[in-house]
Amino acid sequence: MSFLQQLRAAPNLLTLLRLFLIPYLVIQILDGRYGIALTLFIIAGISDGLDGMMARALKQSTRLGQYLDPIADKLLLSTMFLTLTHIGLIPRYVAVLVFSRDFGILLISTLLFATNTLRDFRPSLLGKLNTLAQIVAVLTALIVQRWHMPRVHHANNLLIVAIAWLAPLSAAQYAWIVTRRIQEKPAAV
């Protein structure tokens, strides 16, 4: 399948929609329009769920989609964390931990992929929990800005603390898993 055909596949178009929503999300947050930002973030989340379902249902799973989907997810969450940190809703130290983890994983994955050492980079359990905590933290931060809800604000504070722990722990788990898989690889050959 050509690059253009892959690009026009419905799941990839949904992923591109998610990418195109990112600057509008940032603008809405910076302009203090949290209701619109929340709506756009929810639309982005729905598109993330739908693109995977559509790829399977329509048998339109593409190599481009395999790379584009996680890039769109990381870019969306990273941009949201940066923006929410900029306006003071997420502490800087948490954003630094999140970005350090993601940058480290990206760097290691790229090196392993480029050297043909390892090409399967499935997320770990802690990595999935970290991502879930980040998504819910962004949601709750936007909800609290739109509506005054003390319990949601408290939940957001707990999520921020959880992310501060999960980001480095999931990075360490990822490094351990990759190291173990690299050591096992020669034995399997």
**Residue 119 pLDDT > 60, yes or no?**
no
Last residue of a domain, one of 23, 44, 77: 77
Query: Is there a single domain that holds both residue 118 and residue 188?
Result: yes
Contacts of 87 (CB under 8 A, 6+ apart): 29, 30
Domain residues for the domain of 19 are 1-77
Query: Is there a single domain that holds both residue 114 and residue 182?
Result: yes
**Residue 126 pLDDT > 60, yes or no?**
yes
Last residue of a domain, one of 77, 112, 142: 77
Can you give the pLDDT at residue 169?
94
Can you give the pLDDT at residue 156?
95
Query: Is there a single domain that holds both residue 116 and residue 24?
Result: no
- The interaxial angle of helices 150-188 and 125-146, nearest 10 deg, is 160
**Residue 30 pLDDT > 90, yes or no?**
yes
Last residue of a domain, one of 77, 102, 131: 77
**Residue 34 pLDDT > 70, yes or no?**
yes
Instruction: State the average pLDDT over residues 10-38.
Output: 93
Interval 69-88: pLDDT, tens: 888 888 899 899 999 999 99
Number of domains in the chain: 2
Can you give the pLDDT at residue 186?
58
**Residue 188 pLDDT > 50, yes or no?**
no
Query: Is there a single domain that holds both residue 105 and residue 174?
Result: yes
Structure-model confidence comparison of residues 61 and 164, the more confident one: 164
Task: Single out the residue of 111, 98, 110 nearest to residue 160, CA to CA.
Answer: 98
Query: Is there a single domain that holds both residue 35 and residue 98?
Result: no
Token digits of residue 170:
């999931």
Is 83 inside a domain boundary?
Answer: no
**Residue 32 pLDDT > 80, yes or no?**
yes
Length of the chain: 189
Query: Is there a single domain that holds both residue 51 and residue 138?
Result: no
Is 84 inside a domain boundary?
Answer: no
Interval 128-138: pLDDT, tens: 899 899 999 99
* The CA-based dihedral angle spanning residues 27, 28, 31, 33, taken in that order and rounded to the nearest 10 degrees: 180
Query: Is there a single domain that holds both residue 146 and residue 189?
Result: yes
